[in-house]
Structure formats: structure tokens, C-alpha cells
Amino acid sequence: MRLLNTNTLKLEEPRGKTRYAILSHVWGDEEASFREINEPHAVNLKGYSKIQYCCAQALEDGLEYAWIDTCCIDKSSSTELSEAINSMYRWYEEAFVCYVYLEDVRSDADPAVEGSQFWRSKWFTRGWTLQELIAPGSVIFFAKDWVEIGSRESLIPAIARITGVDERVLLGTLRLAEVSVAKKMAWASRRETTRVEDRAYSLMGIFRVHMPLIYGEGAHAFTRLQHEIMRTSNDQSIFAWSSSTYDGTESDSLILAPSPDCFYFSASIDRIPPEDFARLFGPTFQDTEYKSHFSMTNSGIQISLPVKIQPTRNGSESSYVAVLAYSDGEGLVGLTLLHRGGSLFQRQQSPRSHIIKVSTPYDEFLARDVFISTEPLVRGYSLPVLPELGHPAITYSLRSVHVQAAQLAHEGFLLRGHRLGQNLRTIEGSGFVWNPAEAGARCSFAYLNPTSGEGFVVTVGGWFGRPCVHIDDYRHGNRIEDVLSPYGRDDSPCCSTHPAWAFKPLRAGKRVTVATRYQGVPHQWVVSVSVGYPRSAGVHRGTKRLPSPHPRDPGPRAKRARPDEMAQISDILQQFLGGS
């Protein structure tokens, strides 16, 4: 840890523990960096005066050293920057005193007056300054002319109102570890950082977690932060967030929030002791010994919750209310879950909120071990067609299926009809955007070559975040209504066995092939539908090879293949679907 000598204003690395002051401020123009602090021209930079005044104040307080983030970190070194950000909370916590410099506040501004310059200071809106307010043992605020405004303790009524931070935390009478995850996230909501990743990185100290910095990952940094929190904490309030408070895109996972903003209305959520929580639901629940812990996997969360079934508007899905062991001061907090079979559930997506208020009677709830899938409910918007495929494709994700048929038309196959489940979003020329509503949903497309009389029906469905495919016959002369009619029934031969790869021989040695491929992006798969000659060396399927049929041999009908990955997924699904 480098420190500024308050006498010489030179950087030093003192050995052993030493007392130092630390500066909290909002970065401005022409800050003196690590590279510039010892250069002669540094004194001409606008930000240099902060360094001078900070060191002068520290010297007046009897401190030989000071730490300022603009010049004490070599930000050209990614290793040093990562170490510094992971250590930042501890450095503020161990400082003898923290000076908060409010460059936009005059010394005559009254902190007690709501709406004054003090209340409107930019410092209270920045992401990094939350930990700089909470971590130090002593905090003193200074105006733009370095006149002291007051200490954190003397300004607590105003600071608590401005930031939402619990007064007991500011006074040091309530440990940060005793505050719910949702409440701490609420403090961070509506705060801003220059880089989106820093909204997550600036909270690592608040939650006492560490993780590598990956600038460029965008909002995914906040997802990683939540995973780290769950690795070290069983705090269920991490699920108590509301989508109505977030203006950005939806989260990749309905379990985890896409942004701290989603916790804006969670500032009053507090934990209920396990024994008190179990007592609310009567002797039946207490006999099962309530377990507040949960475990996270790459596909979902295993958790024990009191649940009860509730009717849905259309009656097509089983909906459950699950109660968290937390209260918002008015009642218990819960989630709405959609039953997907056995112990498998998905969190219901609501246009307004993901958390609900749970009312009595509580004796209708039963303790149940549930597995909540992290795969989101599908939404209706089109993903871009990936050009590297070299042919039109069905692009499948948990959000939509995008179908294009230009390559099939080039081979003489024209779309003659389609049957889709609910939620057909758009039809543009020969393309379709389909929003599958639930597991088992499917869409079917019939293609016919008028010249050769050959045709086929391609069916694509979704099975808990993975695509599955099927190919069937369609002959010239058959009525399209009769061809597609079977695919509207629940027992239709589509994706019940969940194949991920299939082909069907055509005449002249060609065949239609449907194959799935994971794109390396969460929830995004590509299902390519193409017509052409098979590869002479066979078709690759993982590490195995499927022999290509002889050009004159039509080969077996509707042959299917399942990659090793899909077999593993099926095993996992069977495990969760095996329950009652």
C-alpha cells in the first residue's frame, strides 16, 4: 500500500502498520495520477489542490501519511488495480480518519435543511462513496473551501435521510453483517458509477466478498457479485427484488437481479429468526425443521420454503406462493413460482414486481424442498441471425426462436404452412419470431419442393432452456391442414424425447439436417435447418462420427442422434422431475 508523505507529498511504502488519513471525493478534471504526482507539472493540475489540502489537514491532525486513490494506485497495472479494489474497503476501515471533500458544497450550506447544497451533493450519488461512508471509524465532511462541515456522527439525521443507510450502522451500533442483503442493496440503488462493472465492484467490501475484475463484462459483473454473496451467505433476501424499479434490460436469470436498482423498495426488509418463522406456520411446518440455507448450482437453486398452490387466471399452469424468511415491516415477503414438474419450479415474471406480500392464514402453507431454475421465462423478441453459419437458421434461446428459410428456398423448398403454439410475435416475409410460453411448447413448419414433390415438417421445441428437434414426412398432394393437424396435440411426435440432432434423407443423395449448437452465451442456442449433400467423412457429433449414407441409399428414416451433453442434461432433469 503506497502512502503520501504529508510533509513532502511524495509517495512512500512504509513498513508495518502506520496511522494514515484517507480521502473520499468525486473525481473531476485533471486529477494528479500515479504517473504525474512526482512530476513538476503536477502542481498545475486542477486536482492537485485536493492533495495539498488533504495532506495539510492530515498533518494538522498529527498524521504523517495520507492515502488518495487518484495518485496512490498505478492504474496502468491491471494486477495492482484489482488488488486495490479488492482491498479498498479494508483500507478505508483501517484509516485513522476519512476526509470527505464535497467540491460542490459551500461552507455556508446548512446540512440540516432538506434540499440544500449538502443534500444535493454529487458525492451522495456515486457508487464508490457508499463504502467510503460506512467503512471508516471516523468521517469528517469538508466544503469546497476545505472548511469543516461536521462529522458523520453530528450529521447522522441528514445523512441517513439522504442515503437511506440505517442510523445504527452509521453510529457503529449495528454490525454490517447483521443487515439483510436486500437492505444493503437498497442503499446502493440509484447510485452511479462511470463504468457499469463498478456498480458491482464497489459493493464487494460491503458484502465482504472478493472476485477478479473483468472490465468489459458489463452488467454480468453484478450477477457474479450475487453468486459470490450466495457462496458466503444464506441470506434469502437476495431474491427479494422488484423489476419495476429497473429501467434496463431484463435479467438473464429470474432468480438474480440485473441491477442494484431492483432493490430500491427493499430498504425495509429484515430477517426473521428461523424459530419465529417456523412458528408462524404451525406445528406441521415446525415438525419438518425449517432450513434457512440454500445451495446454488449452475442451473438453479435448491431451497426449502413454505409454499401453497394458488389458482392462475387461465388455469393452464400450476402457480405457487413461496414465502421467504423476511419481513418488510408490514408482512412476510414471498415469490410466485410456476410449477414445472416434480420439485422443479420457475420464478414467475411479472411486469411490475417479482416480490409479493404474503397474507394470512399461514396454516395453508406446507414445507417443501424446491429447485428453482435459473433459466428465465421466455420473452418475445428476436435475436440476430448469426452470419457465420453460412446458411439461414433457427436461432433459439430462452427468449425466442427466430426462423428464416432463404436457404431452403434456394434448394427449391418453399414454406407451405406453419403451426405455432401461443405467442407468435411477428412474421416478416419468410421469417418468424416465436415466443415459446412454457416447457414442451413447440412450433412446426412444413416445406415442399413443388418440382420433386418432396417435403418435410420441422418441429422445434424448448425443454428447460435447451432446444429439441424433430423431422417428419410431408408429401406433395397432402392437404397442409391434415399435415400440420397432429402437431397441435399434446401427444404429437415432436420433442418428447428431447433430441438435439436429426436428419432425414432426400432424393439425389441430399438430406435435410437439423442440428443444435451452443453459442457460448448463456441461454442462446442455434438450431440450423439446411438441405444439402452430407459430408463425405461423416457428420461430427461431439467426439463420435455418424457415417454418411451412400448417395444411392436413402438411409434409415428420420434418424436421430443425441450428444453427450444432452444426455447429461436429461439425467439432471430426470433427477428433479422424479419427485411428486
Give pLDDT, residue 424.
46
- The more confidently predicted of residues 140 and 504 is 140
Q: Which residues sit opposite 150 in a β-bridge?
A: 141
pLDDT given for residue 129 in this prediction: 96
Average pLDDT over residues 530-538: 64
State the pLDDT at residue 369: 81
pLDDT in tens, 77-95: 989 999 999 999 999 999 9
Judged by phi (left if over 0) then psi (alpha if -120 to 50, else beta), residue 237 lies in: alpha
CB within 8 A of 432, min separation 6: which ones?
A: 401, 402, 403, 418, 420, 424, 426, 443, 445
Report which secondary-structure segment, H or E, holds 483: helix 480-484
pLDDT tens track for 270-302: 998 887 887 887 665 655 555 667 888 767 888
Q: Say how many CA atoms lie within 13 Å of 49 toward its Cβ.
A: 10
Beta strands in 364-488 (DSSP E): 366-373, 393-397, 401-403, 414-420, 424-428, 431-434, 442-448, 455-463, 466-473
pLDDT value, residue 270: 92
pLDDT per position as a tens digit, 372-423: 877 544 333 222 222 332 333 343 334 455 555 557 777 888 877 777 655 4
Determine the pLDDT at residue 352.
44
Q: Would you call the peptide bond into 505 cis, given omega within 30 degrees of 0 as the criterion?
A: no
Whole-prediction pTM: 0.64
pLDDT of res. 347 = 81
Calculate the average pLDDT of the chain.
76
pLDDT for the residue 406: 57
